[in-house]
Structures are given as structure tokens and as C-alpha cells.
Amino acid sequence: MLVKLLPDQVIKEWDVIKYAITQANYEQLFATEEAVRDHLRAIILDQMQVWAITNDETNEFAGIGVTRYNKDQAMNVRRLEIYSLYAFRPISNRTWAECFVALRRYAKANNCSHIMALSDNESVIQLAQQFGGDTGQRMLVFNVGGE
């Protein structure tokens, strides 16, 4: 099951959420305290949404998802981006399917034309294929920092 957390729930569980975001992203998102505050502020203002994933068979807390809206000004389309996705324990295909259906309904209700995500995790890519996602494109990342 997918449950959108309210701001007070996010604040209460911030350490767990922060851990999940850092584990799910390859970038050093929380390199500074300012970056941590910026993420928390965006979540409280509903610019980003935090989702609890519970395993339907056991009703246990199993993971955290974070989404945000992505607006392409040139194409005038709004997308729901899966910003990070982290599982603390195995999640069944049935639970993933139910979470995806709930997220798709949320995206549609919020005038999004697509759901998009970035991942290099092969099991996540395989799940996307099972749910009809187009996995043919890949995000290319170039570090422009030091040598």
C-alpha cells in the first residue's frame, strides 16, 4: 500500500526519510545542512511528496518513495517524477503493482501526463518493464567538477 505522509508525519520521521533519500540517490544531496533544510522545506510546502510503502501481506513498513512535479515549459507538460525510491525490506510484486496504481491515480488527479523516474537498479528497471514502462532511454550523467 502507498500512503502519502502529512507534513507533521514527515517531520516526526525525518531521520528515516533522510536516510532513504540519501541511499536511493547517487548524488550527495545532503552534503550541507542547507541542502537538508531545502529538501525538508520543499516537502512541507508540498513541492515534494513523501510516500510510505507498506507490504500488503504483512502490513509492515517496507520503504519510502519521494515524488515531485516536473514541468517542461517548452512542451507545456507536467510530469510526476519519482525522485527517490528506497526499500528497507523486500517488497512483493503485488505490493509494487498496488503502489504503482495508486501513484498513477495521484498523477492523473494532479494533471500529470506521465510518471518518470531515474534508476540504474536492474530490479527496478525490470519492475518498470513489467508495468509497461518504457525503459529504452537512459539518463546520461557527466560530472563537471574536478578531475
**pLDDT tens-place string over residues 22-67:** 888 766 777 788 888 899 999 999 999 999 999 877 888 899 999 9
54 with 62: CB under 8 angstroms? Answer: yes
Partners of 53 in beta bridges: 2, 63
According to CATH, the superfamily of the domain at 2-130 is Gcn5-related N-acetyltransferase (GNAT) (3.40.630.30)
Domain residue ranges in the chain: 2-130
Nearest to 99, CA basis, from 117, 75, 113: 117
How many Cβ atoms are within 10 Å of 85's Cβ, its own excluded?
24
**pLDDT one-digit tens code per residue, 78-137:** 999 998 888 898 888 888 889 999 999 999 999 999 999 877 777 778 888 888 888 888
Q: Residues 6 or more apart from 49 whose CB is under 8 A from it? A: 4, 43, 66, 67, 68
- The whole-angstrom separation of Cα 129 and Cα 132 is 5
